[in-house]
Structure 1
Amino acid sequence: MDVEQRVRPVFGDGWARRVGRLLFRPLGPVDGVARAVELGSGLQRSTVTGRRIAVDDVGTGADATVVAALMARALAHLRHDRVLVVDAKTGEPSLATRLGASEPGDLGATDAAAFETVRDGLGQVTDRLWTARTDPEDGGTYASGLLPVSRFFGVTLVAGERGGGFLETMAARAHSRVRVVRATREAVVRLGRELDDVASGENAAELARTVVVLAREQDAGQDLDVTRTARIIEESGAAVIVLPPDRHLEQRIEALPDRIAESTHRLVQAVAVEALARAVDGGSSTEGGR
């Protein structure tokens, strides 16, 4: 038995919050129900052709892999087509670990003649959610592997590695991009420089297709005004969603849906809705994230 199997999963929400939610949910506000319906509708939005979304950590050490995994689960849970999520990172925990997939699949070993042959090279998570690994440095696999395979999926997400050939090749052609950043001064300064570079370059239109996730951590200092920072980033044209700490996700084991905090569920859905909206039409979904 490995270390991950010996770890006892904790709940993202504390005991008191879980009990309170259970007791008072029947008395919850109507706008909470309306928001859940709105998020669900956004996740089910038709893509006509498959959309490809790049997810990375801007080199700040944020857990882009788990954000991609949770986005993929949210999309696959409510959509009527298939969702593929690809691991193009070298760090641990892997995407397969986060999804609880026994077989991660290999993007480079798929036969894209038909879905029946494609699935033989992929790892299956649920009936509509599939996963695969790829070499983070091999940009050529984007054209030879991802493009022919992604036509069988309504949405394809790639958890990539900054500077890796695969991510850089894919992100330049992605329909939208999710940048996951640790909510620290150093990380935000790095993000700001990158967004400035994008704004002043040939790919300035990419900002309208960008979603920034500010990931707060339990042990991080409180030296950053997250609300003010989010407003400043939004001036670039990117959407910003703040993801609070989640004790379960910080265990770095399989992300179990029934253990994740309720706020994490809602906010990750908001990230997926915003990224999908921007992938489809390059504009905002009107979903607020803060």
Structure 2
Amino acid sequence: MDNVIRMGGTPRIGASIEATPAQILDKVDLAGLFPVNTRVYITDLGSDDNDRLVRAARKLQDCGYVAVPHLAARRFESWSAFESRLKAFANEAGTTEALAIAGSPDRQMGPIAASIELLESGWFDRLGFTRIGVAGHPEGSPDIPTEALDLAIRQKNAFAKQTDAEIYLVTQFGFDADSFIAWAERITAAGNTLPIHLGVAGPAKIMTLLKYAAACGVGESLNFLKKRAGAVTALATGHSPESTVRPLEAYWAFNPSGPIRQMHVFPFGGLKRTSEWLYERGSWVSGVEGFADTQPIHAEA
């Protein structure tokens, strides 16, 4: 029952969080914003060079967090470019965890087409990476057939048996807990044994979420938000993640040995606001040492 705590007898699924290089490097108040050992994923938007990405990872590590940089297969112009970046993360930033993803299908910059190729290259093992996240798609993908997504999960499960690193699935964000659970159960019935970390959008304005949902191609979530956007009260108060998170926690409470292990939070409403929400609901739990008793700081992020 990793990454779960109980608050007043109620199970709470622990959390990791995303942050952009700009949020990491351009905020002087990053230290103390999350509990020690929180896993912070470094979003790769394709606009930051190696130096900036590595400096972001180093800063996270220096603040006591666990940096988990994105590595997008289709963004690398060559194998040497991938190897160079991974070595820099390992040797200069001291990272031992990463998220291997494919990246946008219509923007392949070099010879690498899929995340499984990154995994099977052997570089993660050679450089001592101990934990690697891979992508899951509960709502499917507008660019990739379901059969191809299912094949990718089978390939990642097969790779997990060949490496010393822990492999787990991290999903895109969504809002329909029932569809999340149905997807997790479907791939488990089909043979998936990888732990699942479900993507959840943190508290944010409805219009902000509409923008990100459209950009990320999460169709069902976009339709859900469009219906919500029709309500004046929703536009005024914003979206609460509780309607997604509470059903997931209830499912875990009745199925603690099931596939769902953690939530991965996308802080579209800002790092500070998202962190405070996680503190308030009791979901901040570190991935290594357990709950830290730090408190959220009150500074812009």
The answer to whether TM tops 0.5 is no
What TM-score range do you get, normalising by the shorter chain? 0.3 to 0.5
Name the one with the larger strand percent: 2
What is the TM-score with the length of structure 2 in the denominator? 0.37
Name the one with the larger helix percent: 1
What is the TM-score with the length of structure 1 in the denominator? 0.38
